[in-house]
Chains A and B, each alone.
Chain A
Amino acid sequence: MMSKKILQVEQLNVTIPGKVLIHQLSFDVYSGTLLCLTGDNGVGKTTLIKYLLQAAKDTISFQKEIRFNINFDDIQLVPQFRDIDDEFPLSVKDFIVLNLTRQWLPWLIKSENEQLQKIINLTNLNDIKNRALGRASGGEKQRVYLAQALMTHPKLLILDESTSNLDYESRIDLLKLVKKIIAQEQLTVIFITHDPELVQMFGDFELNINNGHGELSNLRLTTKGGKHA
């Protein structure tokens, strides 16, 4: 049994001005799975993600090569770096609801408040929800970022090295949480990471970019064979 594809990439060339970073890249992303995107710095992972978002955003870019079965609004990207001013009095709760822009009312409507409480419970942020975001720890911040992304009921979540500045325990906790949400919400996750241990522990697929080529492997079949059957 294979769940349905939410994204198909076929023979995509990922380029920056004057250079092809990845040649003829093809891979599929299945709903409800965690795909780890790995490879050294500078191989084009971030550029690839930008391509994907661009293709989802407008109907002109890469229409032959990138086919989404979801809309741009169904995608949330958690960027690696954010320029949050530590002194700015933005509470954790304030931050989580920032991406709710479908309504225009300056305050939250009832369904949004319910969703907020649900996500806060899910991401275990009840204790710090009224605290300033600038004072949260690294692990807490990543949970807050994750919580914000979940507010819009995304179908695809892209995590850009969300664990790179965390200690071992926080990494494992964050990924466990992500896996739990994947199972609960039928979410699909693309996780950019440099951490082979996390890939082995939590990944369903690995797309490794190396030497200008990308290779997709099904980790469920190779390392935990039979578990998926």
Chain B
Amino acid sequence: MLSYPFMQYAFIASFFISIICAIIGVFVVARKTSFYVHTLSEISFSGASFAIFAGISPIGGMLMFTILSSIFVSLAGRKLSQREASVSVFSAVFIGLGVLFLSLSNKQSSYATNILFGSIVGISKENLYELLLLIAFILLITVFMFRRLKYISFDTIGAEFNAKGTLWIGLLFLILVACTVSVTAQIVGSLLIFSLLTVPASSAKYLATSVHQMMLISFIFSLFGTWMGLYLSYISNWPVSFFITIIEGVFYCFSLLYHKLSTTYRA
């Protein structure tokens, strides 16, 4: 299996994608912006289909659309990304646009399926370099703003009073989420991004006792899910995103069960 270059690329990419999903996912869960990530995934679909229509690389279109909408959401108001009504409007409009661009570009429908649900053969060598560069960028920025990001995410109200520049950190974070979404979409497709970005972190929340542990556990969950998913997809020829979502879903159910059991025992 690993003798095929495309499988090697997919395995390497998933390893690094799992790292950023674990780190960014913990903040997404802490900042209660899971629903916004869902919207970003639809926006990224729209961006990718625009890219096909305009003849640029799909990840470029995704980045453009997701980053621009992150900036817009930050400027429009901090609470907007948590407001379900406005977020739903966003989703609908962008899916509509995505459909339009796809039909204008005259590509086959398999192209759309690849964007929406990911593909095991989707990553070429050039894609891999692109992804690794982006991931390095995301990690670098995250490390530099790590402490401030922790402060505004885990103690939002305290930071509002006691820290300067919280708005900028919030904006920068949304841009990082946008980049992470665009990168993750390459493996699981744009519709199932949260299966890697929020589900492992939500599961880890129930098992960990500290933030670092939570990141480590979500990394292990993501990595196991993607690698196992790639393997199962290779031997069964079923879609990789199906396996990833099922594995992450099972992890979540067991974590929740563990949490319920341990809290009833304690009480």
Contact = CB atoms under 8 A, between A and B. Distances in A.
Interface string B191-235: 000000000000011111111011000000000000000000000
Given A83-B157, A84-B155, A101-B148, A89 B209 contact: yes
Contact of B209 (A76, A84, A91, A106): A91
Interface in A97-111: 98-101, 103-104, 106
B147 A106 contact: yes
A85 B157 contact: no
A76 B162 CA distance: 6
A61 B146 CA distance: 30
The 7 closest A-B pairs by CB, nearest first: A89-B208, A77-B161, A106-B146, A98-B151, A91-B210, A101-B147, A98-B155
A130 interface: yes
A100 B146 CA distance: 11
A98 B154 CA distance: 8
A83 B158 CA distance: 9
A99 B162 contact: yes
A88 interface: yes
Contacts of B205: 87-89
A148 to B, nearest CB: 7
A37 B198 CA distance: 43
Interface string B38-50: 0000000000000
B162 A77 contact: yes
Nearest to A133: B154
A72 B161 CA distance: 10
Given A79-B158, A89-B204, A145-B158, 4 more contacts: A87-B259, A89-B209, A103-B147, A104-B146
B156 interface: yes
Interface residues of A, number: 33
B79 interface: no
B143 interface: yes
A81 interface: yes
Chain B binding surface SS class? helix
Contact of B158 (A89, A100, A130, A148): A148
Interface string B130-150: 000000000000011111101
Nearest to A152: B162
Interface string A121-149: 00000000010100000000000010011
B64 interface: no
Interface string A178-202: 0000000000000000000000000
19 contacts: A78-B158, A82-B158, A83-B157, A87-B259, A89-B209, A89-B213, A98-B150, A98-B151, A98-B155, A99-B163, A101-B147, A101-B148, A101-B151, A104-B143, A104-B145, A104-B146, A104-B147, A106-B143, A130-B209
